Amino acid sequence: MDLLHSAVRFAHTHRSRSTIPLHTRRRLFTVRASLPFPIQKAKYCRELEAAVNVVERACYLCVDVKSSLLFSDGRIVEKNDQTPVTVADFGVQALVSLELGKLFPSIPLVAEEDSSFLLSNNLEDSVVSAVSDKAGIEDKPLARDDVLKAIDRGAKEAFVFGSKPATYWVLDPIDGTRGFLKGSEALYVVGLALVVEGEIVLGVMGCPNWHNDFSNEFISKGQENEENLSGSGVLMVAHIGCGTWTKRLSYTLNSWTRCLVDGCRLVHEARFCISDSQTWESLPLSASVNATTNANSIEDNQILLLPTCCGSLCKYLMVASGRASVFIHRAKVQRIIKVWDHAVGMICVHESGGKVTDWKGSQVDLAADKDGRRIIFPSGGVLVTNGNLHDQILQIISSSSSAV
* Cα 89 to chain centroid, rounded: 13
C-alpha distances out from residue 402 to 62, 222, 331, 359, Å:
46, 37, 18, 13
Cite the DSSP H helix spans in 73-176.
Answer: 87-103, 115-120, 124-132, 144-156
State how far the Cα of 31 lies from the Cα of 27, in Å rounded to an integer. Answer: 7
Closest CA to 166 of 193, 203, 204, 199: 199
3-class secondary-structure state, position 336:
coil
379 conformational bin, left if phi > 0, alpha if psi -120 to 50, beta if neither: beta
Long-range CB pairs of 70-78, under 8 A, 24+ apart, other chains included = 70/3, 70/6, 70/7, 70/10, 70/11, 70/183, 71/7, 71/11, 75/121, 75/123, 75/126, 76/181, 77/121, 77/123
Rounded to 5 degrees, φ, ψ at 275 are -65, 145
How far apart are the two ends of the chain, measured CA to CA in Å?
49
Active site residues: 89, 177
Longest dimension (CA), the chain: 66
In this structure, are residues 237 and 204 in contact, taking their beta carbons and an 8 Å threshold?
yes
In this structure, are residues 242 and 351 in contact, taking their beta carbons and an 8 Å threshold?
yes
Q: Exposure of 131 by Cβ count < 10 A (0-12 exposed, 13-18 middle, 19+ buried)?
A: buried
